[in-house]
Amino acid sequence: MSYCSALRRRKPLKFSDTPLTAGTRVAARIEYHGGRYHGWQAQPHLDVPTVQESLEQALRAVSGLPVRTACAGRTDTGVHGFCQIVHFDDPVGRSIKAWVMGTNRHLSPDIRVHWAQAVSEAFHARYSATARRYRYVICNTPTKPALLGELVTWYRQPLNIELMNEAAVFLLGEQDFSAFRAASCQASTPNRCVTGCSVIRRGDYVIVDITANAFLHHMVRNIAGSLMTVGSQAHSVTWFEEVLNQRDRNLAAETAPPEGLYLVAVTYPDEFSLPAVPEGPMLLEGQL
């Protein structure tokens, strides 16, 4: 299906203009270009732009009162959000239409609210999530692209996706991911459960698709960096397995750049009835 056909077939969401009850919990899907921000998390002690601060300023403009958000995953500087899920508690009783369209009016064009809906107080964007899915998008061409510099990672050497998929198999299951954990990671345990990891090629793009219950700091970018060295045959599949088993970050490849990384989906229990999310990011839509 072409991109245009996909857009024609997708039914637009309708946003109610009926005011909510003050205190209602609201969940929302946020999309953003991470290249212009110092990560998701607000950093009031630093004079740097963050996605959370920009969003909360726009929400405050709609409500007239401070609004604090919680997110599904705190993305790093330069990392993009195609499907970041947040929640906040409506302090005054605005409508869903106001929370979507009004908030977007107060946001810069590189951040967008795609939908919002009332949810139960039991919903928490972070703690209710059962899985996160990331895509790492690589432009695998001899010449660096002129138009996609902040949206993909460029890798000159030809990549063998068969070898990359052989290596990716070793990531599956619950295990210690210290080999792909940043030194600055503050997680209490290096154990994570990866439920899916695959590498596909679509024209000039190579896409690493990985799903886990949660991720360590820089985990996806560190995995992508090592998978690329396998794909270029600078290292072997056996080397990748040994790096994982040795649990030593110093043995793995360099951290891959942030530009190609997207948070593309977050999974929640059916009881919350959140809208389905299209395949993304949009530059790949219609190809996957």
- Just list the catalytic residues: 76
User: Biggest alpha carbon distance in the chain?
Assistant: 59
**Is the preceding peptide bond at 281 cis, omega within 30 degrees of 0?**
yes
50-53: long-range contacts (C-beta < 8 A, 24 or more apart)?
Answer: 51/75, 51/81, 51/84, 51/111
**106 vs 108: CA distance, rounded Å:** 7
Residue 127 exposure: Cα atoms within 13 Å on the Cβ side: 5
**58 vs 159: CA distance, rounded Å:** 42
Q: What is the DSSP string of 97-137?
A: HIIIIIHHHTS-TTEEEEEEEEE-TT--TTTT--EEEEEEE
**213 vs 130: CA distance, rounded Å:** 6
Cα distance from N-terminal residue to C-terminal residue, the chain: 9
